[in-house]
Amino acid sequence: MSIIKVLDRGYVRLVDHMGSDLTVVNAARVSYAKQSLELSERDVKLIKFLAREGHTSPFRHAMTQFEVYAPLMVARQWWKYVVGSAHYEGTGDSLEAWNESSRRYITEEPAFYIPKAGELRAQPENSKQGSGDAIAWELGEKHTRELMAYVEEGISKYEAALADGICAEQARLFLPAYGMYVRWYWTASLQSVAHFLAQRLEHDAQKETQEYAKAILESVRPIFPVSLEQLLSD
Protein backbone atom coordinates (compact mmCIF):
# COMPACT_ATOMS: atom_id res chain seq x y z
CA MET A 1 0.00 0.00 0.00
CA SER A 2 1.13 3.57 -0.66
CA ILE A 3 2.73 5.75 2.01
CA ILE A 4 1.55 9.30 2.66
CA LYS A 5 4.28 11.48 4.16
CA VAL A 6 3.37 13.73 7.08
CA LEU A 7 5.41 16.47 8.81
CA ASP A 8 9.18 16.23 8.39
CA ARG A 9 9.75 12.50 8.92
CA GLY A 10 6.36 10.94 9.61
CA TYR A 11 4.00 8.91 7.46
CA VAL A 12 0.72 7.03 7.31
CA ARG A 13 0.50 3.70 5.48
CA LEU A 14 -2.73 1.80 4.84
CA VAL A 15 -1.64 -1.77 5.51
CA ASP A 16 -4.94 -3.58 4.94
CA HIS A 17 -8.70 -3.16 4.92
CA MET A 18 -11.82 -5.30 4.98
CA GLY A 19 -15.08 -4.35 3.30
CA SER A 20 -16.54 -1.41 1.39
CA ASP A 21 -19.68 0.69 1.37
CA LEU A 22 -21.47 -2.48 0.31
CA THR A 23 -20.38 -4.14 3.56
CA VAL A 24 -22.25 -1.49 5.53
CA VAL A 25 -25.37 -1.97 3.44
CA ASN A 26 -25.41 -5.75 3.75
CA ALA A 27 -24.72 -5.64 7.48
CA ALA A 28 -27.78 -3.43 7.88
CA ARG A 29 -30.00 -5.58 5.65
CA VAL A 30 -29.10 -8.97 7.12
CA SER A 31 -31.98 -8.70 9.59
CA TYR A 32 -34.29 -8.84 6.55
CA ALA A 33 -32.30 -11.68 4.93
CA LYS A 34 -31.47 -9.41 1.99
CA GLN A 35 -28.17 -8.73 0.26
CA SER A 36 -26.90 -6.33 -2.41
CA LEU A 37 -24.27 -7.44 -4.90
CA GLU A 38 -23.58 -3.98 -6.30
CA LEU A 39 -24.04 -0.59 -4.66
CA SER A 40 -27.25 1.01 -5.95
CA GLU A 41 -28.89 4.39 -5.39
CA ARG A 42 -31.19 2.65 -2.93
CA ASP A 43 -28.14 1.45 -1.02
CA VAL A 44 -26.71 4.96 -0.93
CA LYS A 45 -29.98 6.22 0.56
CA LEU A 46 -29.75 3.50 3.20
CA ILE A 47 -26.22 4.58 4.18
CA LYS A 48 -27.40 8.18 4.43
CA PHE A 49 -30.29 7.08 6.67
CA LEU A 50 -28.02 5.01 8.93
CA ALA A 51 -25.55 7.85 9.42
CA ARG A 52 -28.23 10.51 9.88
CA GLU A 53 -30.21 8.52 12.44
CA GLY A 54 -27.19 7.28 14.39
CA HIS A 55 -27.59 3.59 13.51
CA THR A 56 -23.85 3.03 13.66
CA SER A 57 -23.37 -0.73 14.16
CA PRO A 58 -23.30 -1.52 10.39
CA PHE A 59 -20.27 0.78 10.03
CA ARG A 60 -18.35 -1.40 12.50
CA HIS A 61 -18.29 -4.36 10.09
CA ALA A 62 -15.82 -2.56 7.82
CA MET A 63 -12.22 -2.50 9.08
CA THR A 64 -8.97 -0.68 8.37
CA GLN A 65 -5.37 -1.22 9.44
CA PHE A 66 -2.69 1.47 9.38
CA GLU A 67 0.98 1.80 10.16
CA VAL A 68 1.69 5.26 11.55
CA TYR A 69 4.99 6.98 12.30
CA ALA A 70 4.43 10.16 14.31
CA PRO A 71 5.78 12.24 17.21
CA LEU A 72 4.85 10.94 20.65
CA MET A 73 2.67 14.00 21.31
CA VAL A 74 0.48 12.98 18.36
CA ALA A 75 0.48 9.30 19.33
CA ARG A 76 -0.72 9.96 22.87
CA GLN A 77 -3.53 12.23 21.70
CA TRP A 78 -4.52 9.57 19.15
CA TRP A 79 -4.38 6.83 21.76
CA LYS A 80 -7.34 8.36 23.60
CA TYR A 81 -9.60 7.14 20.80
CA VAL A 82 -8.57 3.55 21.44
CA VAL A 83 -9.05 3.83 25.21
CA GLY A 84 -12.46 5.43 24.79
CA SER A 85 -13.70 3.49 21.77
CA ALA A 86 -15.83 1.11 23.83
CA HIS A 87 -17.65 3.96 25.54
CA TYR A 88 -18.14 6.96 23.28
CA GLU A 89 -21.75 7.76 22.51
CA GLY A 90 -22.77 4.45 24.04
CA THR A 91 -21.88 2.48 20.93
CA GLY A 92 -19.93 -0.31 22.61
CA ASP A 93 -17.49 -0.26 19.70
CA SER A 94 -14.45 -2.26 20.82
CA LEU A 95 -13.22 -3.19 17.34
CA GLU A 96 -9.93 -1.38 17.74
CA ALA A 97 -6.34 -2.41 18.38
CA TRP A 98 -3.01 -0.62 18.91
CA ASN A 99 0.50 -2.10 18.90
CA GLU A 100 3.44 0.26 19.29
CA SER A 101 7.21 -0.04 18.98
CA SER A 102 9.03 0.02 22.31
CA ARG A 103 12.50 1.18 23.22
CA ARG A 104 12.59 -1.56 25.81
CA TYR A 105 13.42 -3.87 22.91
CA ILE A 106 14.80 -1.77 20.06
CA THR A 107 17.68 0.67 19.85
CA GLU A 108 17.18 2.05 16.34
CA GLU A 109 18.46 5.57 15.86
CA PRO A 110 16.01 7.98 17.53
CA ALA A 111 14.23 10.45 15.25
CA PHE A 112 12.59 13.68 16.41
CA TYR A 113 10.08 16.15 15.10
CA ILE A 114 11.72 19.58 15.01
CA PRO A 115 9.54 22.36 13.59
CA LYS A 116 11.28 24.83 11.31
CA ALA A 117 11.65 28.44 12.41
CA GLY A 118 8.56 29.48 10.46
CA GLU A 119 6.47 26.63 11.88
CA LEU A 120 6.55 27.53 15.58
CA ARG A 121 3.20 28.93 16.68
CA ALA A 122 2.20 31.48 19.32
CA GLN A 123 -0.12 30.85 22.24
CA PRO A 124 -3.79 31.43 21.40
CA GLU A 125 -5.36 34.67 22.56
CA ASN A 126 -8.65 33.31 23.88
CA SER A 127 -7.90 29.77 24.98
CA LYS A 128 -5.74 27.87 27.46
CA GLN A 129 -4.90 25.21 24.88
CA GLY A 130 -4.14 25.00 21.19
CA SER A 131 -2.08 27.53 19.26
CA GLY A 132 -2.34 30.76 17.30
CA ASP A 133 -0.47 32.23 14.36
CA ALA A 134 3.19 31.66 13.59
CA ILE A 135 5.58 33.60 15.80
CA ALA A 136 8.17 35.99 14.34
CA TRP A 137 10.75 34.14 12.23
CA GLU A 138 13.70 35.41 14.29
CA LEU A 139 12.17 34.11 17.52
CA GLY A 140 11.24 30.83 15.85
CA GLU A 141 14.77 30.40 14.52
CA LYS A 142 16.15 30.90 18.04
CA HIS A 143 13.93 28.24 19.59
CA THR A 144 14.39 25.80 16.72
CA ARG A 145 18.15 25.98 17.31
CA GLU A 146 17.65 25.47 21.04
CA LEU A 147 15.38 22.49 20.43
CA MET A 148 17.93 20.92 18.09
CA ALA A 149 20.66 21.35 20.69
CA TYR A 150 18.43 19.85 23.38
CA VAL A 151 17.66 16.81 21.22
CA GLU A 152 21.32 16.28 20.31
CA GLU A 153 22.31 16.40 23.98
CA GLY A 154 19.64 13.84 24.87
CA ILE A 155 20.73 11.47 22.09
CA SER A 156 24.35 11.78 23.21
CA LYS A 157 23.48 10.90 26.80
CA TYR A 158 21.23 8.04 25.64
CA GLU A 159 23.99 6.53 23.52
CA ALA A 160 26.51 6.96 26.35
CA ALA A 161 24.22 5.13 28.75
CA LEU A 162 23.81 2.22 26.31
CA ALA A 163 27.58 2.11 25.80
CA ASP A 164 28.04 1.86 29.57
CA GLY A 165 25.75 -1.16 29.67
CA ILE A 166 22.58 0.46 30.99
CA CYS A 167 19.49 -1.39 29.77
CA ALA A 168 17.55 0.14 26.88
CA GLU A 169 14.36 0.56 28.93
CA GLN A 170 16.19 2.89 31.33
CA ALA A 171 18.61 4.50 28.89
CA ARG A 172 15.60 5.89 26.99
CA LEU A 173 14.91 8.19 29.96
CA PHE A 174 17.58 10.50 28.53
CA LEU A 175 15.65 11.00 25.28
CA PRO A 176 13.40 14.07 24.96
CA ALA A 177 9.97 12.50 24.86
CA TYR A 178 7.21 14.48 23.19
CA GLY A 179 8.94 15.12 19.86
CA MET A 180 10.37 11.60 19.50
CA TYR A 181 8.90 9.58 16.64
CA VAL A 182 7.18 6.29 17.45
CA ARG A 183 5.72 3.69 15.11
CA TRP A 184 2.50 1.77 15.64
CA TYR A 185 -0.20 -0.33 14.02
CA TRP A 186 -3.76 0.95 14.38
CA THR A 187 -6.62 -1.36 13.46
CA ALA A 188 -10.06 0.22 13.70
CA SER A 189 -13.61 -0.08 12.43
CA LEU A 190 -14.88 2.43 9.91
CA GLN A 191 -16.97 4.02 12.65
CA SER A 192 -13.92 4.51 14.88
CA VAL A 193 -11.96 6.01 11.98
CA ALA A 194 -14.80 8.41 11.21
CA HIS A 195 -15.02 9.44 14.88
CA PHE A 196 -11.28 10.18 14.96
CA LEU A 197 -11.53 12.18 11.73
CA ALA A 198 -14.55 14.15 12.88
CA GLN A 199 -12.62 15.31 15.93
CA ARG A 200 -9.15 15.84 14.50
CA LEU A 201 -10.01 17.48 11.18
CA GLU A 202 -11.59 20.36 13.08
CA HIS A 203 -9.87 23.74 12.75
CA ASP A 204 -9.16 23.89 16.49
CA ALA A 205 -7.45 20.49 16.65
CA GLN A 206 -3.68 20.38 17.14
CA LYS A 207 -2.17 21.19 13.74
CA GLU A 208 0.24 18.25 13.71
CA THR A 209 -2.58 15.81 14.46
CA GLN A 210 -4.71 17.48 11.79
CA GLU A 211 -2.04 16.63 9.24
CA TYR A 212 -2.21 12.95 10.19
CA ALA A 213 -6.01 13.02 10.09
CA LYS A 214 -5.84 14.40 6.54
CA ALA A 215 -3.55 11.51 5.56
CA ILE A 216 -5.93 8.96 7.10
CA LEU A 217 -8.84 10.53 5.21
CA GLU A 218 -6.89 10.46 1.95
CA SER A 219 -6.17 6.75 2.51
CA VAL A 220 -9.69 5.56 3.33
CA ARG A 221 -11.95 7.84 1.28
CA PRO A 222 -11.45 5.87 -1.98
CA ILE A 223 -12.50 2.66 -0.18
CA PHE A 224 -15.57 3.96 1.67
CA PRO A 225 -16.55 7.12 -0.26
CA VAL A 226 -20.26 7.15 0.55
CA SER A 227 -20.01 6.06 4.18
CA LEU A 228 -17.26 8.51 5.08
CA GLU A 229 -19.03 11.42 3.42
CA GLN A 230 -22.16 10.70 5.42
CA LEU A 231 -20.43 10.00 8.73
CA LEU A 232 -18.45 13.23 8.46
CA SER A 233 -21.28 15.44 7.26
CA ASP A 234 -22.72 18.01 9.66
Q: Is residue 65 part of a domain?
A: yes
**pLDDT per residue as tens digits for the range 141-158:** 999 999 999 999 999 999
- Shared domain for 20 and 46, answered yes or no, is yes
Return d(Cα 56, Cα 93) in angstroms, integer.
9
219 and 122 assigned to the same domain? no
Task: Supply the CATH number for residue 71's domain.
Answer: 3.30.1360.170
Q: How confident is the model at residue 197 (pLDDT cuts 50, 70, 90)?
A: very high
Q: Give me the pLDDT at residue 107, please.
A: 66
Minimum mean pLDDT range among 68-72, 91-95, 122-126, 173-177:
91-95
* Domain membership flag for residue 112: no
What CA–CA distances, in Å, run from 18 to 103, 106, 111, 126? Answer: 31, 31, 32, 43
Residue 100 and residue 22 in one domain: yes
pLDDT (0 to 100) of residue 61? 95
pLDDT at 103: 74
Query: Given this model, what pLDDT does residue 99 score?
Result: 86
**In this predicted model, which residue has the larger pLDDT, 58 or 90?**
58
Phi, psi dihedral angles at 222 (to 5 degrees):
-65, -20
**134-138: which pairs have CB atoms within 8 A and are 24 or more residues apart?**
none
Instruction: List, by residue number, the catalytic residues.
Output: 200
Q: What domain range is 147 assigned to?
A: 117-174
What pLDDT does residue 94 have?
A: 54
Q: Mean pLDDT across the chain, nearest whole number?
A: 89
Q: Cα(213)–Cα(198) distance, rounded to whole angstroms?
A: 9
Please name the residues in contact with 184: beta carbons below 8 A apart, sequence gap of 6 or more: 67, 68, 75, 98, 99, 100, 101
DSSP tag of 144: H
Q: Would the pLDDT of 87 be above 50? A: no
Segment 8-24, tens digit of pLDDT:
999 999 999 999 999 99
Examine the fold and report which residue of 174, 195, 216 is the final residue of a domain before the chain moves on.
174
Q: 199 CB contacts (<8 Å, ≥6 apart)?
A: 81, 205
Q: How confident is the model at residue 126 (pLDDT cuts 50, 70, 90)?
A: confident
Most confident of 3-7, 35-39, 90-94: 3-7
What pLDDT score does 84 carry? 53
Is 91's pLDDT higher than 60? no
Mean pLDDT of the region 168-195: 93
Domain count, the chain: 2
Both 95 and 187 in a single domain?
yes
Same domain, 91 and 189: yes
In degrees, to the nearest 5, what angle opens at C-alpha 41 toward C-alphas 15 and 34?
80
Residue at 16 is within a domain: yes
